[in-house]
Amino acid sequence: MLPAPPPATLRLNIDRDALAANWRALDTLSRPGRAGAAVKANCYGLGVDACVPALRDAGAADFFVAHWSEVAAVAAHVPAASIAVLHGPINRAEAEYARAVGARPVINSLTEAARWLEAGGGPCDVMVDTGINRLGLAAAELADPLIARLEVDTLLSHLACADEDRAMNEAQLRDFAALRQQLAARRASLANSAGIALGPRYAADLTRPGLALYGGVPRHELAGAIRQVAFPQAAVILTRQLKAGQSVGYNATFRATQDTPTAIVSLGYADGFLRCWAGASLAYHGSALPILGRVSMDMVVLDASAAPDLREGDWIDVPYTLPEASAATGLSQYELLTILGRRFHAEQSGCARDAASAKASA
């Protein structure tokens, strides 16, 4: 048996109060409908175990994942019947698994509809394409007798350009309204995070926010309502003095013009901190520490001139206000969240953690 490892040199602080507040804000903006929660991709990289309980306790009652392999982790915190699987049953094994666990498959084709009925059927959702041309039935296929045999909980479609002011938004809204009249579904759902910001006409009965739950701001209308949720930090693993004329890192892309104190930080592109961050700055107690040279797989080198007291083991803040980080790197806000690596040790703050601690000690 190996001893427990020492503390990680990367940590990801998850503010569950902010996450819950974001859901409540989006739920209010979804009126007269209600907000669900997209929790696919391990809650956009921030962790199902940290995020789903906070969303559940805030009031979320509908959860969306992409893969069947994601169901079990989410179902550890919420009823399986509250989980919809967007990729649908692409084979008989997935249809049988859905029946066994009780999660709802999203039917995206007539073939999937037949497969679900052959497996025994039950509650499901139906996706209809209104222009994004990814998953979903063609509009004309809603009239197929197979669809009439389904027990449809929610009719879904997906906006293609909600983060932009495009005529396509209105066209999809109009087409979806017409399609709702053709299918006897209990509910209808069209808007993602950006769609919620388009206003209550897009809310339908159920919205599916994802990015904005976790701190993303896909449209300016949400800027004042959404709080940052993810706060990455990395530890200093070495400090050293760079002499004038010496270079830093691969390909010697930076060469010092004067003696410069530096800090080597345990963070690199293997952790989702990609080379496009080169030239940006990290922070120590509010002081900006510019990155020198290229981002390596496991480390970056910082100019520590603004932090003369910096020592090995000190924690450096990674600027992760998503709209600003996106502008600095050229990465989308979605990418910035979902590429965070597995070496980050997740830590939680907020009422959800405090409630769990109180329960454990009771």
Cis before 32 (ω within 30)? yes
Distance from chain centroid for Cα 44:
2
Is 284 one of the annotated active-site residues of the chain?
Answer: no
Which residue in 321, 315, 318 sits closest to 341, CA to CA?
318
Q: Determine the 3-state secondary structure of 224 from DSSP.
A: coil
CA triple 193-197-202, angle to 5 deg: 90
| One-letter amino acid of 218 | P
Q: What is the DSSP string of 91-147?
A: SHHHHHHHHHH-PEEEE-SHHHHHHHHHTT--EEEEEB-SSS-SSSB-GGGGGSHHH
Which residue in 188, 193, 87, 93 sits closest to 142, CA to CA?
188
Q: Which of 44, 214, 250, 359 is catalytic?
A: 250
Q: Name the token pair of 222.
A: 């949400």
Q: Name the token pair of 54.
A: 């906070």
| One-letter amino acid of 160 | A
Q: Which of 40, 97, 269, 320 is catalytic?
A: 40
Please check whether residue 176 is in contact with residue 210, taking contact to mean a CB–CB distance below 8 angstroms.
no
Is 359 one of the annotated active-site residues of the chain?
Answer: no
Q: How far apart are alpha carbons 202 and 30 in whole angstroms?
A: 8
CB atoms within 10 A of CB 359: 8
Please check whether residue 188 is in contact with residue 206, taking contact to mean a CB–CB distance below 8 angstroms.
yes
What Rg, from alpha-carbon coordinates, does the chain have? 23
Q: How far apart are alpha carbons 195 and 229 in whole angstroms?
A: 21
| One-letter amino acid of 27 | D
**Residues labelled as active-site residues:** 40, 250
